[in-house]
A and B are shown apart, each in its own frame.
Chain A
Amino acid sequence: MTGDTHYDLETLAELAEGLLDDATAQQVRDHLAICDPCGEALADLAGVREVLAAMPVPAMPLGVALRVDKALAAEAERRRAGAPLDPGPAFPEPDWDRIMRDAPWETGAPWEEPAAAGERVADLPPLESPRLVPLAATASAGEASLDGTPVAGAPGPAKVNGSHRPEAPADEEPGTVVPLLASAKRLDGPSADERPQTAPEAASADDAAAKRPALGVVAEDGSIVAPKRRTGSARRRWLVSLSSVAAAAAVVTGGVTVTNTVLAGGEQTPVQQTVAAPSASAPAERTEPTQETLSADVDGQQERGSRFVIGESGYNYADAELKANLVAYFGSMPSGGSASGDAKLNRCISKLVAAEKSDPIGIDRAYYNGNEALIMLFWHNRSQDLVKVRVVSPECKNLRKPGLATWN
């Protein structure tokens, strides 16, 4: 190769690294012997190595070193509290078939009784409908996911109720399983004030499956997971919060009218539903698996994570909003009291809380540029109404550089 034709830099670089086969290498060397530009290019490549090697080695800045120390101290604290060195990815799904083995519906109690309002909810629909006004939905999202849960069963109040929650806010095992004799209508889309107020309305929208009475399990996400009879484990999504379990815990009044009060952002939204009378075969011995059965592995971190109220607006945030005033988006969230039973979520929240060294002023499970995201706000400067915005993926990785927004 002579004249105007030259080898490209990549080939020359490969020659220098001994990556070319012998024949090609020889050709290139022959060319180099007569071609000045290629010789210069080869020298330039060597120059790049020198420039890179001459870059000064920076020492870790003190601030970063302190930050690392602090993070490791938090780890050490966690370890002292009994957490294993490697907690693993794992909060393995409980062995549902074993846990539920003795549940009446698993033993084949017939259930062809009529039901009124009821919809089998086996899975949460994806949060793909961004709402224009997330604030209406944020605070109540968890609760609203199982709204106005009618609970038909043995007379008397259901065993589960809101008071279940405070005792065990840190139940991180997916599945505070609360078997209920329940017909459930899960309302995902509309915000609190748009909810159908009565069951017949709700039922009218239901499909044929709705007519099926649901002996269900309230999964952690508050949905009623219809038991699969003698089949494998159902697909379940472990989402949302224990508070939805609380919301699911409705008062049972002999099976006619159920009033369930959903606390949404401080407002009380009574939802009334008419439900069917319980069937004769409804087993009286409803069981309520305790945390013990579910072997909740609680440690301090999870406890921290589960302290916070987690909104679930499903809103698709973009950078513009996350730099602007966020009160409208987060301001309506109640402060404290709710809990999340999602272990992964809690770990992530704890991690961010540890990193930010302060409690969040708002948490929203939503979207960022179309990706599922957890948005957390921390005070940056209270007097200037500045909040720090962290946006992380469900895997708890930053989706966006931490930034500042206003809060006024």
Chain B
Amino acid sequence: MNPQADNRTSPAGHVARSALSDADLLHRHINGDPQAFSELVRRHRDRMWAVALRTLGDADEAADAVQDAFVSAYRKAESFRGEAAVTTWLHRIVVNACLDRMRRKAVRPVADDELIEAAERDTPLPDHTGDREVSLEVSAALRLLPPDQRAALVLVDMMGYSVEDAAAVLEVPSGTVKSRCARGRAKLVPILSHLRNRSERARVSSAKGARLRDG
């Protein structure tokens, strides 16, 4: 197929491209279609962003990781052999980019009380309740897990992928994914409940304060 004849600019060409499967798009990209990879990116960037942001817990880091990952995927498209879904392959590249980043960072504290202290430091005390607050708590708590456990939890519990899919992305056996998830959840329980109680106390005390103030 001659990519040049592919009506790059015509609506027809666009429609045709958006109807293609991921694998077809990747194939076209390898064969020189300059638009094919962009279409792949458009399709998957939100998911890749979600994975990176949750895994890294930091928007700047996530942006770097996602960019690196997409550029890397662009370059090594030929290494995709079709043995897995394109999405699995893309996820793998993103997750690996994130894991690389995390592993280069300083070692996190591991003792539970240190974890909780660190989570408190990382989470500003909210002035009102809401999704945003929970989401801050969760990402602060996640940041305290070892990278492997975090990646497993992001894929399975947060993104909702099956253990088998997560195992394919992480290139580890399913049992390993399960055990990383189990250990990660076990660590999250005390951290999250502590943060929740703290918010609860803050809310109660600010409600009291409001009552006193307002008479």
Contact = CB atoms under 8 A, between A and B. Distances in A.
Interface of A: 8-10, 12-14, 16-19, 41, 44-45, 47-49, 51-61, 63-65, 67-69, 71-72, 75-76, 85-87, 355, 397-399, 401-402
B160 interface: yes
Contacts of A68: 41, 45, 66-67, 70
B30 interface: yes
B189 A9 contact: yes
A55 B186 contact: no
28 contacts: A9-B187, A10-B183, A12-B186, A13-B181, A13-B182, A18-B178, A19-B178, A19-B179, A19-B182, A41-B189, A52-B153, A52-B188, A53-B158, A53-B160, A54-B134, A60-B45, A60-B48, A64-B63, A68-B67, A68-B70, A69-B38, A69-B41, A72-B38, A72-B41, A72-B74, A85-B77, A86-B76, A397-B104
B182 A75 contact: no
B37 interface: yes
Nearest to A83: B75
Contact of A10 (B76, B100, B186): B186
Contact of A13 (B50, B158, B183): B183
Contacts of A13: 181-183, 185-186
Contacts of B181: 13, 17
A44 B45 contact: no
Given A53-B158, A55-B54, A85 B188 contact: no
B75 A86 contact: yes
Of B48, B181, B183, B189, which is in contact with the most chain A CB atoms at under 10 Å from its CB? B189
Contact of A85 (B48, B64, B78): B78
B18 to A, nearest CB: 17
Nearest to B104: A397
Interface residues of B, number: 54
Contacts, number: 129
A45 B189 contact: yes
Contacts of B83: none
A12 B186 CA distance: 8
Interface in B1-56: 30, 34, 37-38, 41, 45-50, 53-54
B64 A398 contact: yes
A161 to B, nearest CB: 38
A40 to B, nearest CB: 10
A58 B189 CA distance: 24
Contacts of A59: 46, 49
Contacts of B178: 17-19
Contact of A60 (B46, B182, B185): B46
B125 interface: no
A87 B71 CA distance: 12
A48 B78 contact: no
Nearest to A399: B104
A1 B70 CA distance: 52
- Nearest 3 interchain pairs by C-beta: A13-B182, A60-B49, A9-B186
